[in-house]
Amino acid sequence: MHTPDVGQRLNGTFDTALDKIQALIAHLPLLGVALLIVGLFALLARLLGGWQAPFRRLRLNPFAQDLVQQAFRLALVLIGVLIALEILDATALVGAVLGTAGVVGIALGFAFRDLVENYIASVLLSLRQPFGPDDHVVIDSHEGKVIRLTSRATILMTLDGNHLRIPNAQVYKGVILNYSRNPLRRFDFAVGVGVGEDLVEAQRLGVVKLRATPGVIADPEPTAIIEALADSSVQVRFYGWVDQQQASFAKVRGEAIRLVKTALEDAGMDLPEPIYRVHMLQPAASPPTPPREPTPPPSPRSVPAAAPESDADTAPEHALERQMAEDRAVDGGKDLLRPGGPQE
């Protein structure tokens, strides 16, 4: 049986280690140059990464600007590392590292797909800005006012004061209705007028009252159309416009409904309610019920004196705005939206 020579093996291992140490010492100058190049590129990345002049023309928000600066710094450092590896003749290591990074990147992409999707959507939303701070929006079926846009979600405050978080990926792909982009907004409501009334006069009276309603603007002017013939009335629909920066949309609409209804009633016009006829079936053995006498029509009403002009409060409400301002103060201003930024 052959016995291994321990001394010979130890001497071989020692010689191999000594050769590697000598090779390392021989490459120390190149290693120093490589480290110096990496350090110079890292310093250059730090200096150029904080340069603000190019971003003043781009007018990016702080989030997008920080993202671009970090990508620029990383690119400069990677260039320095690649040059250093080339000096050390370690290009094979570069290929192995890039291959490993690609595999790891694909795995992480699948694992954090939703997170990455929301992050990318936040960047695109911050650049497009389909809405601004305090805008009244409807995103799909969610309605509220915009508090902030974060790197993960869009935060709304609903009209009843609750916080609503919508993932940015859903916001980016969703249907967005912005009530605040155009300050002018139209309201409408329908009034049922009796079939025997003068419909042209009903339209005229309603439009006159709309013009006198506080908060209803003159241009575009209020209008009225005959919309449909219902079972017991004729539907007349009235339209008016509100400047939401000067008046509350809901208050103006409610006051307009009250004034138009009062004006039509004061003119003696019939505003009928739905009428239903119910047939009661009885057993055949019971004697027939005599027919009921028809109900006489109501007597004409006297026309009262005209009601005084409206003095209702239609000023815009700022309760939500105050709560949103307090929320932003607590959060520290982490918002990707800029009031003066470009809007889509």
Residue 18 forms part of a structural domain: no
Residue 190 forms part of a structural domain: yes
Which of 224, 228, 259, 226 has the alpha carbon at shortest distance from 240?
224
Rg (CA), the chain: 38
Structure tokens belonging to residue 38? 């990496």
At 113-165, the pLDDT tens digits run 778 888 888 888 888 889 988 899 999 999 999 999 988 899 999 999 899 99
Place of tokens 């100058």: 29
Distances (CA, A) of 11 to 2, 8, 16, 25, 295: 19, 5, 9, 21, 125
Residues 92 and 69 in one domain: yes
Mean pLDDT of the chain: 79
Residue 296 has pLDDT above 60, yes or no: no
User: Which range scores top for mean pLDDT: 7-16, 28-37, 193-202, 288-297?
Assistant: 193-202
The DSSP bridge pattern shows strands 176-178 and 163-167 to be unpaired
* Domain extent for 155: 128-181+321-331
Residue 226 forms part of a structural domain: yes
Name the residue with higher pLDDT: 288 or 272: 272
pLDDT at 303: 43
Name the residue with higher pLDDT: 86 or 331: 86
Residues 107 and 135 in one domain: no
Residues 188 and 151 in one domain: no
Residue 167 makes CB contacts below 8 A (sequence gap 6+) with 114, 118, 121, 152, 153
Residue 256 has pLDDT above 60, yes or no: yes
Residue 301 forms part of a structural domain: no
Name the residue with higher pLDDT: 235 or 92: 235
Residue 12 forms part of a structural domain: no
Residue 26 has pLDDT above 60, yes or no: yes
Domain count, the chain: 3
Residues 177 and 188 in one domain: no
Residues 135 and 171 in one domain: yes
Strand intervals (E) in the chain: 136-139, 142-149, 153-157, 163-167, 176-178, 184-193, 223-229, 234-243
- CATH number at 171 reads 2.30.30.60
pTM, 2 dp: 0.62
Residue 132 makes CB contacts below 8 A (sequence gap 6+) with 146, 180, 337, 339, 341, 343
Residue 59 makes CB contacts below 8 A (sequence gap 6+) with 341, 342
Residue 311 forms part of a structural domain: no
Residue 308 forms part of a structural domain: no
The Cβ-side half-sphere exposure at 211, using a 13 Å CA radius, reads 12
Residue 159 forms part of a structural domain: yes
Q: Mean pLDDT check: name the lowest of 59-63, 158-162, 232-236, 275-279.
A: 59-63
Q: Distance (Å, rounded) from C-alpha 71 to C-alpha 60?
A: 15
Residue 316 has pLDDT above 90, yes or no: no
Residues 261 and 246 in one domain: yes
Three-state SS at 247 = coil
- CATH number at 224 reads 3.30.70.100
Choosing from 77, 111, 145, the residue where a domain stops is: 111
Residues 225 and 260 in one domain: yes
Q: Mean pLDDT check: name the lowest of 20-29, 126-135, 252-261, 316-325.
A: 20-29
Residues 172 and 191 in one domain: no
